[in-house]
Amino acid sequence: MDNALPFQPPRPSLFLGGRWTGSSDDGTRESVNPADGQVIALVDEATAADAAQAVAAARAAFEHGRWPRSAPEERAALLSAIAELLDRDREAIARLETLDTGKTLKESRIDIDDVAAVFRYYAQLAEDPASYGRSVDVGEPDIDSRVTFEPVGVCVMIAPWNYPLLQISWKIAPALAAGCTMVLKPSEVTPLSTIALVRLIEEAGAPAGVVNLVLGSGAVVGAALVDTPGVDLVSFTGGLHTGTRIAATAAKHVTKVALELGGKNPHIVFADADWDSAVDAVLTGVFLHSGQVCSAGTRLIVEEPVADRLVAELAARAARITVGDGLDPASETGPLVSFAHREKVERYAALGVAEGARLVCGGQRPNDPRLAEGAYYPPTIFDHCDRRMRIVQEETFGPILTVERFTTEDEAVRLGNDTRYGLAAGVRTADQERGERVARALRHGTVWINDFGRYAPAAEWGGFGDSGFGRELGPSGLAEYQQSKHFWRNTEPKAGNWFADGGKD
Ligand code: TXE
């Protein structure tokens, strides 16, 4: 029956202590292509006992293996080798990512190139002595004071489904550079590209036990990983509700936590902004990957005089976006990741109508019969929204743009900060000083000025507020996987005679 599937990753698909294995209860799970509802693969479904075994394997590799004690050159070589293998297998993995997530092949290829760039960036950082410590001048010639940055230990990495390969790689690459060992748990909705990546990591020569992989549900496997003693760090990207549960469980074990919990990201457009690039960026910012992007610019905040014109142009352009199977080169955006997720997005669209926002385009399933079998949902715009509406405040994680208007700069900033999240924001204006002023006032982890959605491996990524804490990418992304130790060496030890008798009787 497996042979009937269009894609079958090599099974078994769990990787524990350097060995590929099935689930301890022989459980499996189907992976579904959201473009047509077809099952594309069967993967092994781990149990809580498998999760505990994975943590034990990572613990053993951390305590006794060579990786935490490896030389910088060895770490850099492994990271570079992984990047090379990603280049080699780019097309195959891109196809897998598209089948599993629904995103277009063009997007999947970009993801894989970005992932390779992140591995290369951390290869470079792994060879930089500044990554491992610094000397401290304590002002005494006989004191040699050094702070070293050591691997934090065993890391659990839990990733979501929207950028499966990319988000888990933002965790794996710095953790390897730091000398950590780890257990990966991709989303049960999109496990395939992570299986492929772990095979490449094995091929690149990672010692047994350094990278372990378990697959399965958050409720069983994810929860077991977080609630297992012997974990030093849980790095999680996903929903707010899940993130708070993970943090609460981790607190019981005094486990360090890093959380990236999404956002409701404002895109502020002043009337003087360059028109064509503004229209283009607002459109791409919200509808790329059908809005399933944590930093999507879902909340347009536009200066009153140009609002009607901008909404009209956005609606016209949105209606022309070609929605379709990600494998079809004509498709500009794919389906939502799953049928269940489409239902959630539909509930938000219905809520927008009920809350009194004006539906300008989209808002119901496409009636093209070629899209009938997939989890498709069209670009949707709600105008005349109010800051108190739930569609303005909650992360819909779908192709839904809300529009609010402002008349003063203060009001724009107030609206831009009027969110429990704080992941990313954009401001568009021809006035450079105003751009800087507004960017400084916005409480978000990334602010784009006359651009949107871009990032760089060397620049930190993460949120303010309920978007979470901890940083990925950049030197701070490495620091997340390290802990400091202070060495204080006295080169000329002498009695200090603090006490009056000098310690004699
Ligand atoms: O994510 P979950 P879901 C947002 C988005 C979306 C919402 C819910 O708004 O609609 O979250 O999506 C694992 N212990 N984002 O339900 O549940 C789970 O198996 C340990 C934002 O799909 O957060 C998966 O691997 N792990 C986001 C991962 O957590 C648990 C990207 C994410 O799943 C667990 C995706 C538990 N108790 C959705 N429960 C972003 N920040 O980019 C689940 N998991």
Task: Tell me how far apart the alpha carbons of residues 308 and 383 are, in angstroms, rounded to a whole number.
Answer: 9
Q: What pLDDT, on the 0 to 100 scale, is given for residue 367? A: 93
| Alpha-carbon gap, residue 207 to 202, rounded angstroms | 8
Q: Domains of the chain: which residue ranges? A: 14-261+467-488, 266-449
Whether residue 295 has its Cβ less than 6 Å from ligand 1: no
300-325: average pLDDT:
98
Report the Cα 486 to chain-centroid distance in Å: 32
Percent of the chain with pLDDT over 90: 96
pTM to 2 decimals? Answer: 0.96
**CA 68 to chain CA centroid, nearest Å:** 25
**Bridge partners for 16 per DSSP:** 19
Average pLDDT across the chain, whole number: 96
266-449 fold: Aldehyde Dehydrogenase; Chain A, domain 2 (3.40.309)
CA-proximal residue: ligand 1, atom 7 (nearest):
239
CATH domain 14-261+467-488 topology: Aldehyde Dehydrogenase; Chain A, domain 1 (3.40.605)
- pLDDT category at 500 given cuts 50, 70, 90 is confident
Q: Is the CB of 194 under 6 A from ligand 1?
A: no
Work out the number of other CB atoms within 10 angstroms of the CB of residue 440. Answer: 10
DSSP code, position 220: I
Alpha carbon distance 19, 199 (integer Å): 11
Nearest CA to ligand 1 atom 19: 218
Residue 504: the pLDDT is: 60
Mean pLDDT of 76-100: 97
Q: Is the distance from the beta carbon of residue 226 to the nearest atom of ligand 1 less than 6 Å?
A: yes
* The predicted structure's pLDDT at residue 11: 86
Q: Greater confidence, 501 or 326?
A: 326
Q: Is 265 in the pocket of ligand 1 (CB under 6 A)?
A: no
Q: What is the mean pLDDT of residues 326-351?
A: 98
Alpha-carbon gap, residue 443 to 460, rounded angstroms: 15
Cβ atoms 181, 67 nearer than 8 A: yes
The mean per-residue pLDDT over the stretch 279-284 comes to 98
**Ligand 1 pocket residue status of 162, Cβ below 6 Å:** yes
Residue 242 alpha carbon to ligand 1 centre in Å = 6
Counting residues of the chain whose pLDDT is more than 70, the rounded percentage is: 97
User: What is the atom index within ligand 1 of the atom nearest the CA of 237?
Assistant: 41
Q: Which amino acid is at 490?
A: N
Cα-to-chain-centroid distance, residue 251: 22
Give yes or no: 313 in active site.
Answer: no
Nearest residue (CA) to ligand 1, atom 24: 187
Please report the pLDDT score of residue 1 as a whole number.
37
Burial class (CB in 10 A: 0-12, 13-18, 19+), 42: middle
- Check pocket membership of 160 for ligand 1, CB cut-off 6 A: yes
Report the nearest-CA residue for atom 31 of ligand 1.
238
Ligand 1 atom nearest the C-alpha of 344 is 10
The pLDDT value recorded for residue 2 is 41
Determine whether the shortest distance from the Cβ of 261 to ligand 1 is under 6 A.
yes
pLDDT at residue 92 in the model = 95
- The reported pLDDT for the residue numbered 5 is 60
Rounded distance between C-alpha atoms, residue 397 and residue 420, angstroms: 16
Rounded Cα gap, residues 134 and 138, in angstroms? 12
User: Which pLDDT score, from 0 to 100, does residue 502 have?
Assistant: 57
Tell me if 260 CB under 6 Å of ligand 1: yes
pLDDT-derived band at 473 (thresholds 50, 70, 90) equals very high
Looking up tokens 């028109």 gives 275
**DSSP letter for each residue of 26-62:** --EEEEE-TTT--EEEEEE---HHHHHHHHHHHHHHH
Q: Round to whole Å and give the CA distance between 241 and 251.
A: 16
The arithmetic mean of pLDDT across residues 432-452, rounded, is 98
Catalytic pick among 260, 395, 409, 480: 260
Overall average pLDDT of the 13-27 stretch: 97
For 43-53, the pLDDT digits (tens) are 999 999 999 99
Q: Residue 71's pLDDT is what?
A: 97
Q: Whose alpha carbon is nearest atom 44 of ligand 1? A: 218
Task: List, for residues 210-251, the tens digit of each pLDDT value.
Answer: 999 999 999 999 999 999 999 999 999 999 999 999 999 999
Measured in angstroms, how far is the CA atom of residue 68 from the centroid of ligand 1? 30
Q: From atom 16 of ligand 1, which residue's Cα is the shortest distance away?
A: 239
394 lines ligand 1 (CB under 6 A): no
Where are any strands of DSSP class E within 121-185? 133-136, 143-151, 154-158, 181-185
DSSP string, 430-459: S-HHHHHHHHHH--SSEEEES--S---TTS
- Under 8 Å between Cβ of 380 and 363: yes
pLDDT (0 to 100) of residue 242 = 98
On the question of a common fold for 14-261+467-488 and 266-449, the answer reads no
8 Å CB contact between 430 and 276: no
pLDDT at 375: 98
- The whole-angstrom separation of Cα 443 and Cα 26 is 48
Helix axes 192-204, 90-101, angle to 10 degrees: 150
Parallel, antiparallel or unpaired: strands 424-428 and 446-449: parallel
Question: From the CA of 239, how far away is ligand 1's center (Å)?
Answer: 4
For residue 80, pLDDT beyond 80: yes
